Structure formats: C-alpha cells, structure tokens
Copies of this chain bind each other. A is one copy, B any other.
Amino acid sequence: MSKPVLAIAGGIGGAKLVLGLSRVLEQGDLVVVGNTGDDFNHLGFAISPDLDTLLYTLSGLADPVRGWGRRRETWKFMAALEALGGPTWFRLGDADLAMHAERTRRLAAGESLSAVTEALRQKLGVATRLLPMSDDPVRTRLRTSTEWLDFQDYFVRLRCEPEVREIAYAGAGAARAMPQVLDLLRGDELRAVVICPSNPFLSIEPILAIPEMRAAIAACRAPVVAVSPIIAGQAVKGPTAKMMRELGVEASAAAVARRYADLLDAFVVDEADAGAILPEGVARIIGRTLMLTLGDRKRLARIVLAAADSCSAGARAAERKP
C-alpha cells in the first residue's frame, strides 16, 4: 500500500470522482469521508443517502441512469405502500430497502454508524474504506422565507423549489469527527485531501461544519485539492447554482473556491472556467471536470492527484530553501 488519499464527498457528484480515484489508486489507498447531513428517519428506517450512493457506486450496484438507488431495482413495496395510503414522496426500491433495514437493525443493536457502514462495505465487497463524517447526528436544515425545513423535505418532497435564505447543520458544533480520519489528517502518510465536486452547501460544508474536521484539514501537511462543482455558472446536477444565487453568492467556480480558501492548495476548474480568478495561494488547475464516462472519472482523478503531488513537490522545494 502506498500513501493514502482522503476524499471528502457527498452523494452523486462526489461519488463519480470517488469512483475515478478508486480506479486509479492502488486498492485500499482511498479513504472516503461521506456526508451524513442528509440522513433521516423515514418509515422507521435510518436512511443515509450519501453513504448509500457511495457504496452503491463503488460496488457497481448504482443505477447509472437514475443517479441514485440500485440498478435493476423493483418497486413492489412502493406500489403496495401507495395502495395502503402510505407516504410515497421518498422512493424506496425493494432491494434498497434492505440497506436501510439492516442499517436500522444494527444501529438499534447499539452499533455506531461507522461500524454499520464498515459492515455494509465489506458485505458489498467494496475495497475503498468509507467513513461517515461523524458517528454523532448532524442534520442539514434550510430556512425558506416562511419556515425551517428538514433536508429531505426540501430536497425530495419539495424538489428544491423553495428559495433558501439560510442553511444550518444542526448538531455539527458538538459532533466529533472520526478518530481514524483525524489520525490520517494529523499524520505524515497522507498523499492528498480531495474535496469532491459535490454541492458545497448540502454535501461538503456539513462535513466542514464539524469543528475538528475543518481544523484538521486546515492544519494537515498533505495538499488539499478541491474540484469545482460549477461549470460556466451551472451545476452539473442539482440545485447548487440556484442555491448560490438565492444565498447572494455568485454562481461561479471562483465563488466555490473562496468558500474553501483557507483549506485549499489547489482548485480544479473546468476548461470553461480557465479564466477564473482564485484566492491568493490557491493554484488553479484547468481540466475537463464533466464526468460522463468512467474514463472521464479516472482522467479527472489523475488530474487531481497530479495537482496534489505537484503541490507537495513545491512545498518540499520550498522547505529546501534556507
């Protein structure tokens, strides 16, 4: 095993780059910290959408068209639930349900979310280590002009339609980061920290809202490289650009870089944003960031790793100076 890479990721967009990284790194060299701010309880199930998307993507079970859930899924449970008048706004496939049932069962038996995630990872044959951002609950909530909404109410039930005025990560201030992740960040072995092209507000910042996480990333010796989720002012998928505008932030790659400025050594922008003006001290890396194919994912992973390695080389050169 060579030096590990730590990836910070949300769901769909993040999972694409995570898959690319897992394919270009040696097996076991990738450690992923997944967002749990979207987690919620529904029909008695403990549901962790981003962890599941990462596990499904890495195990090859993900549905490539829908973008979430499992391929070759069936919907018999959902149809029967609808016939009984049950809530159907959150779609649960028959096989996907097993993940939630097994997670719920293990949590009820006293296992931590990280232990459950580790067990599911092994059962699905995923070599990449995956850790929740915390074993403590953190819940992303959004304030509209009229009310505070739970994340899934906003994201799924209301299809991101309400205008967002404010975002909170309930519980983040008191949540502890995972010790294994802090050890990696504080040690000398880490090759890079990669902040994946996930929604900053909904996927990355819930993780960074855990004080230990942000502080450890800011202090770590390994280079920190982020990939822009915005291409030419647009989000590849989801409400990122819409939310940025609603929150009074310019919908641009540069604006995303500014949110992470204190953490970053390098920022990868799309060729369409080659002229982006980044914060001082953040190297601008230009590449194709749209990931349509597995080849795209691997190529972007190599760009990110090369950026990190050149930061390291630069830092080592700087250290050699008197």
> Measuring CB to CB, which residues of chain A are less than 8 angstroms from any residue of chain B?
43-45, 74, 76-81, 83-87, 94-99, 101-102, 104-105, 108, 119-120, 123-124
Contact, CB under 8 Å: A102 / B123: no
Contacts of A81 in B (CB 8 A): 98, 101-102
Chain B residues contacting A123 (CB-CB under 8 Å) are 83-85
Complex CA gap A87/B101 in Å reads 10
Question: For residue A77, which residues in chain B have a CB less than 8 angstroms away from its CB?
Answer: 77, 94-95, 97-98, 101
B76 touches A95 (CB 8 A): yes
Q: With a CB–CB cut-off of 8 A, which chain B residues contact A45?
A: 44
Are A86 and B74 in contact (CB-based, < 8 A)? no
Contact check, A102 vs B85: say whether CB atoms are below 8 A apart.
Answer: yes
> Which residue on chain B has the smallest CB distance to residue A86?
B102
Residues of B within 8 A of A120 (CB): 84
User: Assuming A45-B44, A119-B85, is B94 touching A80 (CB within 8 A)?
Assistant: yes
Interchain CB contact under 8 A, B74 and A105: no
A92 to B: closest C-beta gap in Å? 9
Contact of A104 among B44, B79, B95, B119 (CB under 8 A): B44
Minimum C-beta distance from A110 to chain B (A): 14
Question: How many copies of the shown chain assemble into the complex?
Answer: 2
From known contacts A84-B123, A123-B83, infer whether A43 and B74 are also in contact, taking CB-CB under 8 Å. no
Query: Is there an interface contact between B76 and A105, defined as CB atoms closer than 8 Å?
Result: no
A96 CA to B78 CA, complexed, in Å: 11
Instruction: Contacts A44-B45, A44-B101 given; indicate if A95 touches B119 (C-beta within 8 A).
Output: no
Question: Which of B83, B87, B95, B104 is within 8 Å of A80, CB to CB?
Answer: B95
Q: How far is the CA of A104 from the CA of B85 in the complex (A)?
A: 13
- Contacts A/B (CB < 8 Å), 25 sampled: A43-B101, A43-B105, A44-B44, A44-B105, A74-B74, A74-B76, A74-B94, A76-B95, A77-B95, A77-B98, A79-B95, A79-B98, A80-B94, A80-B95, A80-B99, A81-B98, A83-B124, A84-B99, A84-B123, A85-B119, A86-B101, A86-B102, A86-B105, A87-B105, A94-B94
How far is it, in angstroms, between the C-alpha of A45 and the C-alpha of B81 when the chains are bound? 14
Give the residues in chain B near A78, CB-CB below 8 Å: 98
By a CB distance below 8 angstroms, the chain B residues around A94 are 74, 76-77, 80, 94
Q: Which residues of B contact A76 (CB under 8 A)?
A: 74, 76, 94-95
Chain B residues with CB under 8 A of A87:
105
Contacts of A102 in B (CB 8 A): 81, 84-86
In whole angstroms, what is the CA distance A96 to B95 when docked? 14
CA of A83 to CA of B121, assembled, Å: 11
Residue from A45, A85, A95 having most chain B Cβ neighbours under 10 A: A95
A-B pairs, top 4 by smallest CB distance, nearest first, are A80-B98, A76-B94, A80-B95, A81-B98
CA distance A79 to B97 in the complex (A): 11
